[in-house]
Amino acid sequence: MGANSYGGNAQVSPAASLLTGVPAFVTGPFGPLGPVVPNTWQNQARQTQGATAFNYDIQLNFDTSFTGKDLLRTRLRAGNFAQSPFGGPTVGLNATEAGFEEFCGLGVDCGDVVAINRLFYQFPLGSNFTATIGGRVRQDDMLAVWPSAYPADTVLDIFTYAGAPGTYSLNLGAGGGLWWKSGGFSISANYVSANGDVGNPIAGTPNCGGIGNACSAQTGTGQIAYTGSNWGIAAAYTYSSGGAGLYTGNGTPLATIFQTNAAATNSVGISAYWQPTNSGWIPSISAGWGINRSNYNGTTNLNGAANLVSTTGITNATSQSWYVGLQWDDVFIKGNSFGMAVGQPTFLTSVSAGPAVFGGPAAATAIVDGNYAWEWWYKFQVTDNISVTPALYYLSAPLGQVSKNVGAIGTTGTDFNNFGGFIKTTFKF
């Protein structure tokens, strides 16, 4: 159960309206029964995501082993977060990792629908190799190392990507992978197509997909890692195309639209973690940084982004992200944990071949898509199977450049922020 509070004076500009679909001009009462108020991002968010809500996410794993060394996993999952205050339609960066609802098509309510969320088989090949293949497998299911010790209990989704959402996009679909591990060293490689179950390969037509084509929403990932007894470090590279990559829960609107509409994106992530040998005043430390370079072929449709950024002759765009997470174990009571994280969700940093001019010819030339996110939480381990986690978070500019109105003639205000919180109860059995 949770809610959000919004602040700031930034009004919705016509250019931002074309990108986001949020109306720039509102006549009459802003709300159904309310008084006439300014059309600010604060009021838009209050109207669409301002309620206190109670939501759920349920996951049931069915694990089978035939040899004791292999794994056949089937996961059923259901939730009802699509219309919750978390993750849209105005602010996407307040999405939670547990904020799940099965996608059944645009405009279709699939709350409470139970669906297969995982279906893959993982098995050893000799003493050092492990292979994975499945019709419903996620990118991180096929990595030998997840390079983060944060968090013990998830809050904002943006802090669950080891600092590099473009690299570790957690793409889910049909795929396969292989990793090699010897001692502390490991090398992993995998491929996932989110649309790998679709038979129509023709780009630009409805419901196209398949494996290895322009409609696949595909990622190919390679990772090199080393882990010690209480620390680890990894470098990874991901090639994304066909719409795979970021979403509004881990990137600003501009960063997301530039990556998902690119011909292809090359992403690199470097992540590491360290944990103290014994719990005490010193926390575990996890950190990561990611950079994405999206390429365009001259025919890319940027869906309204050209109204905020000059895309004439565009050849590539760059975005970055980072985070640091701290976690203390056995705080006050054995089994309880406290954590906090700070970072920047993926934000646009440069556009090449075509001046990066926001809002039109008279606008300032600086790209100011940067933003910060913080979260704080305390996990009460009530029993071995039940935990309760109250959490708070703050987003300094959850829409990045879109709400800052650089060069937007006739529109005032540059500030828009989001403070929120929830209480999460988890049952495991």
Confidence at residue 107, expressed as pLDDT on a 0 to 100 scale: 72
Give the pLDDT mean for 18-30. 63
Task: Look over the chain and give the mean of its residue pLDDT values, rounded to a whole number.
Answer: 88
Confidence at residue 30, expressed as pLDDT on a 0 to 100 scale: 47
Confidence at residue 368, expressed as pLDDT on a 0 to 100 scale: 84
Structure tokens given for 408: 């937007």
Report the distance separating Cα 195 and Cα 297, nearest Å: 22
**Who contacts 55 (Cβ-Cβ below 8 Å, separation ≥6)?**
1, 79, 80, 81, 84, 86, 99
Confidence at residue 405, expressed as pLDDT on a 0 to 100 scale: 75
Would you call 244 exposed, middle or buried from its count of C-beta atoms within 10 A (0-12, 13-18, 19+)? Answer: buried
**Who contacts 44 (Cβ-Cβ below 8 Å, separation ≥6)?**
12, 22, 90
- CA distance between the termini of the chain: 21
362: confidence class by pLDDT, cuts 50, 70, 90: very low
Give the pLDDT mean for 200-204. 85
Give the pLDDT mean for 195-200. 91
CB 357 within 8 A of CB 309: yes
Structure tokens given for 271: 């992540």
If one counts every other C-beta atom within 10 angstroms of the C-beta of residue 311, the result is 18
Report the distance separating Cα 427 and Cα 278, nearest Å: 27
CB 209 within 8 A of CB 241: no
Would you call 362 exposed, middle or buried from its count of C-beta atoms within 10 A (0-12, 13-18, 19+)? Answer: exposed
Residue 351 reports pLDDT greater than 90: no
Q: pLDDT for 53-95, tens place per residue?
A: 999 999 999 999 999 999 999 999 999 998 899 988 899 999 9
Decide: pTM greater than 0.85: yes
Structure tokens given for 423: 């209480």
Structure tokens given for 214: 């322009």
Percent of the chain past pLDDT 90, that is, above it, reads 63
Of the given ranges (219-233, 364-378, 396-410), which has the lowest mean pLDDT? 396-410
**Who contacts 181 (Cβ-Cβ below 8 Å, separation ≥6)?**
128, 130, 144
Confidence at residue 360, expressed as pLDDT on a 0 to 100 scale: 39
Give the pLDDT mean for 223-231. 97
Report the distance separating Cα 381 and Cα 327, nearest Å: 15
Report the distance separating Cα 179 and Cα 131, nearest Å: 7
Report the distance separating Cα 312 and Cα 309, nearest Å: 9
Confidence at residue 202, expressed as pLDDT on a 0 to 100 scale: 86
32: confidence class by pLDDT, cuts 50, 70, 90: very low
- Residue 313 or 207, more confident: 207
Report the distance separating Cα 389 and Cα 381, nearest Å: 9
